Amino acid sequence: MDSDGDGIGDLDGIRQRLDHLVELGVGALWLSPIFASPMADFGYDVADYCAIDPLFGDMAAFDALLTEAHGRGLKLLLDFVPNHSSDQHPWFAESRSSRDNPRRDWYIWHDPAPDGGPPNNWQSNFGGSAWTLDEATGQYYHHAFLAAQPDLNWRNPAVRAAMADTLRFWLDKGVDGFRVDVIWHLIKDAGLRDNPPNPGYAPGQPDIQRYLQLHSADQPEVHEVIAELRGVIEEYDGRLLIGEIYLPLERLMTYYGQDNAGVHLPFNFQLIQAPWHAGGIAALIDEYEAALPPGGWPNWVLSNHDQPRIAARVGEAQARIAAMLLLTLRGTPTLYYGDEIGIADVTILPDQAQDPAAINEPGASFNRDRARSPMQWSPDPGGGFSNGEPWLPLTTDWQTRNVASQADEDASMLALHRALLRLRQAEPTLRSGDYRRVDAGEGLLAYRRGPTIAVVLNLSSEARALTLPTGWQDADILLTASGADLARVPDMLPGDEGLVLRLPEMAA
């Protein structure tokens, strides 16, 4: 929500819309980076970790947001970006100023290869080499993302101490925790060895796919660093650490750490990446549940600011089923803004592209702008988001797809999200009751949550025969995905329909 008409969302704008979050029924709000930044990568290039960028407001606006969020019972999480800073950060200015500057070793510098090229074959996630030559000092610096995002050297204890202090700065203010950006990247191979070629690479794919990221990320020592970050969090009561981690399941699970020394929630992106088929989704939930370490609390994510939106991937009808899935699984769900009204893709013409990844590798990367279009609040001009020109286009159906319009419709996407979240608040079983899968038939995903709640989802658009355990037919229907009023559990579940049931006692 933009409060000052510049077309860009800001802190006062979010504060004005907190009631939406309360009515929706979420418990916490995660903000993508709001820190001082030249915005080479939309704030994921931080020039001052303890200042608010003027685009979004000032520290008074932040304090007001935090106070009002807490006053409404909402927690507030910030986005901590420790792997890299902006090249405009004073630390980097000092580091690049000379080879013997005391902060030289705060970043990752290396002499050129014998042919003058980069020190190794590591690729940037945003295309091209992950090394840029600093002509003045004759060495290359490493950047896993843009050249404007130099990687900090987390092997240097001074970097760790400075970063711990930035966490304390925000924790002292009362923020409830952090989502930590690319946490699995923090430590790289001490010898900076080449990555092995990726046998699955095909020309035309993003450069980052050329090699397997064996030495440039997910190193064993990263867990020591995370234990230190967790230690800082533990200096305070009731704060949360979430890690952004794109890794296969077995690797992901290691980020829970030994003896509570990892992140509380290693983001689980499997639903984002999985093909949308009942059998595959059922298997991945089983595998995830089985792989959790003792005491590891699950979490689920359907969309985020880097990936195609759920409604764009599976279509609006299945996006309702996806919402029902996300909000009835065990653990903490993360809902991406706008998914609650079913925002799908927006078309971004080449000259409208803002995402640096898409600009660097046109055609190869997903243009993340397509998942970042402004929230649509009302049928007013600018979708009620801004009095000015919104920084990215709205969806073509914004005049009907908005919070105000959907708030009046019983069967809207918004109504479904509100009902699901209300149910989740009322039924502790939905949050923490055990998860047990049930075979209900082809195309269907069915499970029991604790002894009392059951969920049956049709992941196809065709009606499917239900073969349910004894007693389920006599269940009360608490919610339907379509909003239809059903008197009893049907024998055939319509396409794109889902049910949340309260089981009669003694149901199998």
Residues contacting ligand GLC: total by CB under 6 A: 9
Residue-wise burial string across 256-282, b where 16 or more C-beta atoms lie within 10 A, e elsewhere: bbeeebbbbbbbbbbbbeeebebeebb
What would the two tokens of residue 111 be?
Answer: 């002499």
CB of 468 to ligand GLC, least distance (A): 40
Choice from 91, 92, 145, 336 touching ligand GLC (CB under 6 A): 145
- Side-chain-side CA neighbours of 185 within 13 Å: the count stands at 20
Nearer to ligand GLC, 286 or 306 (CB): 306
Interface of this chain with ligand GLC, residues 235 to 274, rule: CB under 6 A: 244
Residue 295 CB neighbour total at 10 angstroms: 8
CB of 41 to ligand GLC, least distance (A): 5
CB of 372 to ligand GLC, least distance (A): 9
327 contacts 319 by C-beta, under 8 angstroms: no
Strand ordering across the sheet containing 109-110? 109-110, 139-142, 131-134
What would the two tokens of residue 467 be?
Answer: 């073969």
Nearer to ligand GLC, 62 or 126 (CB): 126
For residue 496, state whether it binds ligand GLC (rule: CB under 6 A).
no
Interface of this chain with ligand GLC, residues 70 to 109, rule: CB under 6 A: 81
Token pair 């899935």: residue: 325
Choice from 65, 66, 175, 182 touching ligand GLC (CB under 6 A): 182
Nearest by Cα to 379 from 360, 354, 406: 406
65 contacts 11 by C-beta, under 8 angstroms: yes
Nearer to ligand GLC, 26 or 39 (CB): 39
Q: Residue 498 forms beta bridges with which residues?
A: 457
CB of 23 to ligand GLC, least distance (A): 27
Nearer to ligand GLC, 62 or 145 (CB): 145
- Across the chain, which distance is largest between two alpha carbons, in Å? 77
Q: Which amino acid is at 328?
A: T
Nearer to ligand GLC, 58 or 306 (CB): 306
CA distance 373 to 55: 17
80 contacts 243 by C-beta, under 8 angstroms: no
493 contacts 444 by C-beta, under 8 angstroms: yes
Interface of this chain with ligand GLC, residues 4 to 43, rule: CB under 6 A: 41
Which residue's C-beta sits nearest to ligand GLC?
Answer: 44
CB of 356 to ligand GLC, least distance (A): 8
Mask 198-237, x = binds ligand GLC (CB under 6 A)?
Answer: ----------------------------------------
CA distance 95 to 99: 8
What would the two tokens of residue 410 be?
Answer: 């019983």
Nearer to ligand GLC, 41 or 53 (CB): 41
What would the two tokens of residue 12 be?
Answer: 């006062």
CA distance 397 to 184: 38
Q: Tell me the H-state helices in 39-129.
A: 59-71, 90-97
CB of 375 to ligand GLC, least distance (A): 18
Nearer to ligand GLC, 308 or 443 (CB): 308
For residue 361, state whether it binds ligand GLC (rule: CB under 6 A).
no
CA distance 272 to 278: 14
Nearer to ligand GLC, 44 or 300 (CB): 44
CB of 139 to ligand GLC, least distance (A): 23
Interface of this chain with ligand GLC, residues 54 to 73, rule: CB under 6 A: none
Residue 36 CB neighbour total at 10 angstroms: 21
What would the two tokens of residue 75 be?
Answer: 């927690």
CB of 17 to ligand GLC, least distance (A): 22
Catalytic residues: 181, 235
Choice from 221, 306, 316, 345 touching ligand GLC (CB under 6 A): 306
For residue 316, state whether it binds ligand GLC (rule: CB under 6 A).
no
Choice from 12, 87, 181, 339 touching ligand GLC (CB under 6 A): 181
Rule CB under 6 A: which residues touch ligand GLC?
41, 44, 81, 145, 181-182, 244, 305-306
